[in-house]
Structure 1
Amino acid sequence: MSDLYQIQSASRRRGASPSQRPTPRPAPRPSPRPSGNTRDVNAGPIWSREDAKTKCPVVAASQGGQWTGEWRTTVQGKMSVCEIRF
């Protein structure tokens, strides 16, 4: 084996100026989902965001939890679920 090239010099940079230092990475964004234990709970049909604002807090309270603000339809025109945090 032989070297591919001859190393002429090597040094370790100390005290590099701020313009030469790498930019630190920004902090990761928090998850859009709430922390803690969440579960989807059946709420009957929900027709709109406004309807969810009325029904989901009631469903959450009946389960001893708090509505996260999320909901989705599972069976069109028949069933929706509210995301509840416990």
Structure 2
Amino acid sequence: MLILSTLYNLNKQAFVAATESNHGRTRIYFANDKETLLASSKQTKPRLIPDTSFWVITNTNTNRKRNMIEQIMQDMKFPVELVEKVCGTI
């Protein structure tokens, strides 16, 4: 959650654009409200990302969470080395 909050606060516009394209085949990972996430699946366990207006699903395994962060950081044009370093801590 701290990583997501930090990414949002570093560049809100890039974060919003990155989360819009970050979703699964049948699941939405990010939304502006809890209800949108629950509508895609009742088991998502949505949580508000601290210091943002965004909600994220939390009922995923560590690998999926790592992939979500990696995709957002790549879409936000962070250097590959930084993406790997951050994702290596998850």
* Interval of TM-score (by shorter of Structure 1 and Structure 2): under 0.3
Question: Which has more radius of gyration?
Answer: 1
- Relative contact order (C-alpha < 8 Å, sep 6+): which is higher? 1
TM-score w.r.t. the length of structure 1 is 0.28
Q: TM-score, with normalisation over the residues of structure 2?
A: 0.27
Which protein is richer in helix relative to its size?
2
Higher-strand-fraction structure: 1
